[in-house]
Amino acid sequence: MQYLKDALKRKVASQIMRAPHTFVLLDFDGTLVPIMPKPEMVHLRASTKKLLEKLSKNARMSLGIISGRRLEEIKSLVGIKGLVYAGNHGLELEGPDFKYTHAKTKEFKRILKEIIPVLQPLSKIFPGTFVENKEITLTYHYRLLDPKWVETCRKEFVKRLSKWLDNKLIKVMEAKKALEVRPYFTWNKGSAVRWILLHEDPASFPIYIGDDKTDENPFKALKDRGVTIRVGFDRNSAAQYFVKDNDEVVRLLSFLAILSNTRQK
Ligand SMILES: [Mg+2]
């Protein structure tokens, strides 16, 4: 994993310039916006939005937002028409001319309905924690919990889910100060990114930027094909490059915008 400094940026730029079409795929929380104590506190800065709009209007560039949030939520948080959006880690996909929901999601929604009342009491037992129902997946946030209770809380969470875990109906995944309940079948941000590229633009050159464990799947999926960038250094990450923070992501996007202008001339 190398730091994406100016010299490297120029190298990446020349790859983009050579490609007939570039597909910029971005995670949202922790990538385009800083992580906030509660997911509802997050908003996209007007200047970042403008930048994304500019990029999306470029004929030789496509833009996709790949998030763990619900599709409708991520669409309204970004609020730009004509992009490809992936919600719930790619279980729900939508673009200007398509809509896709993974075939097994209906059955999984039913399972989540059983699970929610079992997990809901945890927010009373462990103050500061809460369950976010994302319809197709579920996130249990413990960022505001007293650190001395975290281990107990996580154990209780898994214990309450043992029936579904033992029957291989669900998976519990790690997120940043959160645990996620997801379908047992393998469909992740990596599968979503592959699906999007295959259906939308098989010949394009992909750039993926993300910050979390769930972004490791797209990092791996695109390893031999495009440019993968992690927000924050992690020696174990499969991403090729890293930038230090959200501001550097925005600067990188400005750089891409300038680049696409140059290319249009
Ligand atoms: Mg993220």
CATH number of 7's domain: 3.40.50.1000
Whole-number Å distance, alpha carbon 16 to ligand 1 midpoint, is: 24
DSSP 94: E
Lowest mean pLDDT among 12-21, 25-34, 137-146, 215-224: 12-21
Q: Which helix (H) or strand (E) holds 15?
A: helix 6-18
Give 33's DSSP letter.
B
Does residue 98 sit in the same domain as residue 111?
no
- Looking at residue 201, its amino acid is D
**Do 179 and 227 fall into the same domain?**
no
* Residue at a domain's end among 183, 202, 229: 183
Whole-number Å distance, alpha carbon 179 to ligand 1 midpoint, is 14
DSSP lists the bridge partners of residue 27 as none
Which pLDDT does position 265 carry in this prediction? 43
Token couple for 70? 């619900």
Q: How far is the CA of 34 from the centre of ligand 1 (A)?
A: 9
Rounded to the nearest angstrom, the distance between the alpha carbon of 31 and the centre of ligand 1 is 6
Cα 170 to Cα 92, 119, 140, 179, distances in angstroms:
18, 14, 14, 12
pLDDT digits (tens, 9 = 90+) for 105-131: 888 899 999 999 999 999 999 999 999
240 CA from centroid of ligand 1 (Å): 17
Tokens standing for residue 98: 């398509």
Residues 6+ apart with CB under 8 A from 15: 205, 227
Cα-to-centroid distance, 77 and ligand 1 (Å): 14
The Cβ-side half-sphere exposure at 77, using a 13 Å CA radius, reads 24
Domain that holds residue 252: 2-102+187-264
| HSE-CB for 74 with a 13 A CA cutoff | 27
Record the pTM: 0.85
Residue 171 belongs to a domain with what CATH number? Answer: 3.30.70.1020
Distance (angstroms) between ligand 1 centre and the Cα of 60 equals 26
For residues 131 and 245, give the distance between their C-alpha atoms in angstroms, rounded to a whole number.
Answer: 27
Overall number of domains in the chain? 2
Select from 123, 158, 183 the last residue of a domain: 183
Question: pLDDT-derived band of residue 263, with 50, 70 and 90 as boundaries?
Answer: low
Gap from CA of 210 to ligand 1 centroid (Å): 6
